[in-house]
Amino acid sequence: MSKFYARRRVSILAALSGLIASVALFNAPTASAALPTPVSGATARSYLAQLTVATEDRTGYSRDLFPHWITQSGACNTREVVLKRDGTNVVQDSSCAATSGSWYSPYDGATWTAASDVDIDHLVPLAEAWDSGADSWTTSRRQAFANDLTRPQLIAVTDNVNQAKGDQDPATWMPSRTAYRCTYVRAWVQVKYYYDLSVDSAEKSALTNHLASC
């Protein structure tokens, strides 16, 4: 075999291998995405040490001050984007509403097959953010916080679990699945650090205790 044909054969085989790999990737099952991975335990401990400790003040809070579930692209709002991201085999209609799929709630370990059984939790609640410094923000910054898909701030969970959590911080509420608590507190601290929000003394104590084993 001449060198020309040998090189040509190698090139063809390489191209075919790349094509096969691409087809396999295209046809492979889509893995369920989830909360953006929070910072490490060590980084979270460092961030926590830098957060301002202050008494919370809820004066003037209203959920309407945090415009949420804004349009992200096309007909899809923030809730629908997170439902798609956090679910498995999610099918959406032309208006971006999820018509089928399944959702695993890492807070309690339940799996749901109806989007109506799932809430999108603001990991750091809107009221908690207000108490911690968001009362001085512009409306546009509160909107960015309430629709943040980049930080580990939004996650699909069981609706009644989210409602039971309400606006509580880690001093009074934690996921019932102990295996998820390290992820939860790392995410909590990362979000507070990024948005320069304060913590109260009980909250900092709880976070410190949980992060010690992360």
Instruction: Report yes or no: 103 and 118 within 8 Å, Cβ to Cβ.
Output: yes
Q: What is the pLDDT of residue 91?
A: 98
Residues forming a β-bridge with 157: 119
pLDDT tens across the length of the chain (214 residues): 443 334 434 333 333 333 333 333 333 333 345 899 999 999 999 999 999 999 999 999 999 999 999 999 999 999 999 999 999 999 999 999 999 999 999 999 999 999 999 999 999 999 999 999 999 999 999 999 999 999 999 999 999 999 999 999 999 999 999 999 999 999 999 999 999 999 999 999 999 999 999 9
Helix or strand or coil: residue 9? helix
Tokens read off for 202: 């009980």
Q: What is the pLDDT of residue 155?
A: 98
Tokens read off for 166: 């309400």
3-state secondary structure 18-85: HHHHHHHHHHCCCCCCCCCCCCCHHHHHHHHHHCCECCCCCCCCCHHHCCCCCEEECCEEHHHHHHHH
Q: What is the pLDDT of residue 34?
A: 83
Instruction: Report yes or no: 156 and 117 within 8 Å, Cβ to Cβ.
Output: no
pTM, two decimal places = 0.84
Which amino acid type is present at position 60? Answer: G
Phi-psi region of 114 (alpha: psi -120 to 50; beta: other; left: phi over 0): beta
Instruction: Measure the CA–CA gap between 2 and 209, rounded to whole angstroms.
Output: 70
Instruction: Measure the CA–CA gap between 76 and 130, rounded to whole angstroms.
Output: 27
- H or E element that contains 191: helix 181-194
Tokens read off for 127: 């009221």
